[in-house]
Structure 1
Amino acid sequence: MKKDSALSQSYQDADYPIIGHGPRSMQVLLDAFKQADGSQFSDMYGKGEIIEAFEAKMAKLLGKEAAVFFPSGTMAQQIALRIWCDRRGYRTAAYHPLCHLEIHEERGLHELHGIRSILLGGEDRLITLEDIQAVGEPIGCLLLELPQREIGGQLPAYEELEAISAWCREQGIPIHLDGARLFEIVPYYGRSEAEISSLFDSVYVSFYKGIGGIAGAILAGDADLAQQSKVWKRRHGGDLISLYPYIVSSEHYLDKRLPLMESYLDGARDLSSRFNRCSRMRTVPEQPVSNMFHLHLDLPVERASALLEQTAKDTGVGFLPYLKETSPDSCAGEIHIGDRYARIPAEKLDQAFKRLEELAGQA
């Protein structure tokens, strides 16, 4: 991502920044602990009521035998794939070319676990059943990310997921769900977290993305996977003496925001429709399937940044803090909707888009 300091500053200074729930300040922690019982004992090295009760709650929500709380999703997912590859006896993991493990983790899966990646499909589209069937070597584990963040948060049809799950189970290939944003896709699919997770052998969810907690993740699956993952968590140094600040904030914001996911989807669709009516702008997907989408601008990144910066200064509405160059004449940015969007007065939003269209027409 190209970090434009002027654009970023104008976004920070805006009265109505659009993205997410709010600033990641100490208030996130303070709000989470307002109702906490100060006499409750903390967890210690993965044991204790506070962590075990939350793990049981998440196992039930995801429809799995057991769940384990991790400080990070990076740790949880590498461990899940290691366990599945060990069980299967193959040191290969198949996933999308823009999977988090491939582009954001410094080759951790390979360097720490000796697992080689098999990249499926193209960078600009979703993985299909045909992509998986065409792999000409044994697969230790298949990872699917729902939604696929790096291509705008796209999702396959649910029937395609069912077909992939059925075929992999026939072949004995375990499937892991990168469900960092699982909660955000429930409204679109119209199925519960447990129903979606039933298509997968293990699932990871994040508590700081759409949920807005401090940090933390859950890895859920069968009881044996959970037990093995605890051993690997210790080996990775993830068994901190106490994880309760993450657990308390995770549960607080999960309970608060899980009922709001449909409203976030509605907000994303409203916002995307406004952008798609603007000159030189389009969204991917055109109609969002979760609370996130990518905004593409047919302008050089410097001109697009200046346009958004000026809109923020003139109207107080900040659309994006940064843009990524996609070609010399185009750029893009990621938008995800949370609590902030509903707080923006309708007249301010109308004013911002009117100004945005005026400036885009002059660009």
Structure 2
Amino acid sequence: MNMTLTEAFNNTAYPVGGHGKRNIQVLREALQDVDNNLDSDMYGKGNVIEDFQSEMAEYLGKESAVFFPSGTMAQQIALRIWCDEKGYKQVAYHPLCHLEIHEEDGLKEMHHIEPVLLADQNRLITLEDVQSLQVDISCLLLELPQREIGGQLPDFEELEAISAYCHNKGIKLHLDGARLFEITPYYKKTAAEICALFDSVYVSFYKGIGGIAGAILAGDTEFTTKSKVWKRRHGGDLISLYPYVISSDYYFKQRIDKMVQYYEEAKELAGLYNKCTHTSTLPKEPVSNMFHVHFDMPKEQLEPILLSIYEATSIGLIPTLRDNGETGCYCEVSIGDRYAGVPKEKLKTAFQMLAEKLAN
């Protein structure tokens, strides 16, 4: 039976990208040195969760932080709080925002909040877009980096200008920082320096950090106190969240200092792709550990080429491809721990084969 591209990728000795398989070992490793007598959290209380929340509040430069089982829950709650405070239920965000395309209209159906879509879907939100708003909004959400367009980022000066404008107009500014940790090397800023521009911040612990699941929502104490009420209303106050908290804490400490490494490796890998014909990365030079690779070739034509390279070199370049119109396809690449273990000569051979096959 012919293997799918994903199966072939997973069967290679050196799959490029990510930290590794998301199997039970992820939890085993996180728990291996934990004291067996450590008490679990109970409905959001207890040292195991409260200590982590305090650490993250300090790291993000905010007064307070709350651990949530998911970013979807955390962000909907953040926007609900700001809408209730302002008294009208309109928020603005990018057309390819996670809340718009991946959450089954949860913001609209559960909170009756109406989004205002800013900017063309193929570019970032600019200060001019915000200044041109024709309706009153309670909150502006910015995603850094903007995942669906290759992880692009605005200049930091543009962010500062947007933040100042929102502050002057009384518009709350919320950060979808699912990949916040991964952009600090590009901006040459601490997470706290970036978060200082925002009234509320969400960060993920299963993406670049590689934990099991979980998110932090941070802001001032009044904001996070309200978020705890909404967390209970959403059913997010599980009796215990410690498996998620402990894994988040463990992998945060393991990987937070590797973000510069991942960033430099992403630039190296993008350079190899950009040497191939019919291939380009977005952005051309990555601004975080992730980027998109676009091929001027249909998926059906490219997949056999990749499968032959995987078999010949045991290097897995791409796990999945998505159609990008009738004549092209693309994929997302995220660099993690695995890239450092890929033999450079084998990687070079794999890209030589790719370049030759794409040129024919």
TM range (shorter): over 0.9
Paired residue for 2:190?
192
Give the SS at the match of 2:123. coil
State how far apart, in whole Å, the 2-side matches of 1:23 and 1:305 are.
22
Decide whether the 8 Å contact of 1:305 with 1:322 is kept in 2.
no
5+ unaligned residues in a row in structure 1: which ranges?
none
Superposed, 1:143-182 pairs within 5 Å as 143-182=141-180
C-alpha deviations, 1:136-181, integer Å up to 9, x for none? 0101110000000000000000000000000000000000000000
Tell me if the contact between 1:177 and 1:202 (Cα under 8 Å) persists in the aligned partners. yes
Distance 1:243 1:136 in 2: 42
Instruction: Give the letter aligned to residue 271 of structure 1.
Output: L
Give the match's secondary structure for 2:277: coil
Spell out, residue by residue over 1:12-33, the C-alpha distance to the aligned partner (whole angstroms, 9 max, x if none).
Answer: 1111110100000100000001
For residues 246-277 of structure 1, what are the alpha-carbon distances to aligned partners after superposition, in whole Å with 9 as ceiling and x for unaligned?
00000000000000000000010000000000
Match of 1:211 among 178, 190, 209: 209
Equivalent residue number for residue 110 of structure 1: 108
Structure-1-length-normalised TM-score: 0.98
Secondary structure of the 1:333 match is strand
Which residue number in structure 1 is paired with residue 247 of structure 2? 249
Q: Distance in 2 between matches of 1:310 and 1:131?
A: 46
User: Counterpart in 1 of 2:273?
Assistant: 275
2:207 aligned partner, one-letter code: K
Secondary structure of residue in 2 paired with 1:327: coil
Amino acid across the alignment from 1:239: D
Aligned equivalents of 2:59, 2:101: Cα separation in 1: 30
- Hey, what does 1:323 align to over in structure 2? 321
Distance 2:64 2:9 in 1: 42
Superimposed CA distance per residue, residues 33-63 of structure 1 (whole angstroms, 9 cap, x where no aligned partner): 1111111100000000110000000000000
Rounded to whole Å, the distance in 1 between the matches of 2:45 and 2:282 is 43
Q: 1:111 offset after TM fit, Å?
A: 0.4
In structure 2, the CA distance between the partners of 1:5 and 1:153, relative to structure 1 (3 Å rule), is farther
- Counterpart CA distance in 2 for 1:306 and 1:164 is 46
Find 1:68's aligned residue among 66, 69, 74.
66
TM-score, normalised with respect to structure 2: 0.99
Query: What's the secondary structure of 1:259's corresponding residue?
Result: helix
What is aligned with 1:346?
A: 344
Percent sequence identity over aligned pairs = 58
Q: How does 1:1-363 map to 2 (within 5 A)?
A: 6-362=4-360
RMSD: 0.9
The runs of at least 4 aligned residues of structure 1 exceeding 2 Å deviation read none
Residue 5 of structure 1 and its aligned partner are, at CA, apart by 6.0
SS at match of 2:4: helix
Preserved contact between residue 323 and residue 332 of structure 1 (Cα < 8 Å): yes
Q: What CA distance in whole angstroms lies between the structure 2 residues aligned with 1:167 and 1:199?
A: 11
Q: Following the alignment from structure 2 to structure 1, what is the Cα–Cα distance between the partners of residues 196 and 88?
A: 24
The alpha-carbon deviation at position 317 of structure 1 amounts to 0.7
- Alignment partners' CA distance in 1, 2:102 and 2:318: 22
**Offset of 1:284 from its aligned partner?**
0.1
Q: Between Structure 1 and Structure 2, how many residues are aligned?
A: 359
SS at match of 2:142: strand
How far apart are 1:233 and its partner, in Å?
A: 0.4
The structural deviation recorded for 1:288 is 0.2
What is the CA–CA distance in structure 2 between the aligned matches of 1:323 and 1:30, rounded to whole Å? 31
